[in-house]
Structure 1
Amino acid sequence: MTATLPFTPTPTPTPTPTPTRHANSEPGTRCAAVRDAAVREPTAHGAQHRPASRPEHSDREVEVLIAWLACDSKREVTERLFLADSTVSTYIQRVRSKYDAVGRPARTKVRLLVRAVEDGYIGLDDL
Structure 2
Amino acid sequence: MHVLPFDGVRPNPELAPREKEVLIAWFRTDSKDGVARQLHIAPTTVRTHLQRVRAKYAAVGRPATTKAALVARAIQDGLVDVNDL
Tell me if TM exceeds 0.5. Answer: yes
Gaps of 5+ in 1: 1-28, 30-34, 42-50
C-alpha separation in 2, matches of 1:40 and 1:76:
36
Q: Does the 8 Å CA contact 1:106/1:115 hold for their aligned counterparts?
A: yes
Counterpart for residue 7 of structure 2: 39
1:102 is aligned with what amino acid?
V
Post-superposition shift, 1:121?
Answer: 1.0
Post-superposition shift, 1:98?
Answer: 0.3
Gaps of 5+ in 2: none
Structure 1 position 70 matched with structure 2 position 38: no
1:119 to 68, 74, 77: 77
Pairing of 1:1-127 with structure 2 (within 5 A): 38-41=6-9, 51=10, 53-127=11-85
C-alpha offsets along residues 40-66 of structure 1, whole Å, 9 cap, x if unaligned?
Answer: 24xxxxxxxxx2x11110111000000
Identity of aligned residues (%): 49
Runs of 4+ in structure 1 off by over 6 angstroms are none
TM-score by length of 1: 0.61
Which structure has the bigger radius of gyration? 1
Taking CA–CA contacts closer than 8 Å with sequence separation of 6 or more, which of the two structures ends up with the larger relative contact order? 2
C-alpha offsets along residues 84-114 of structure 1, whole Å, 9 cap, x if unaligned?
Answer: 0100000000000000000000000000000
More helix by share: 2
1:59 is aligned with what amino acid?
P
The number of residue pairs the alignment matches comes to 82
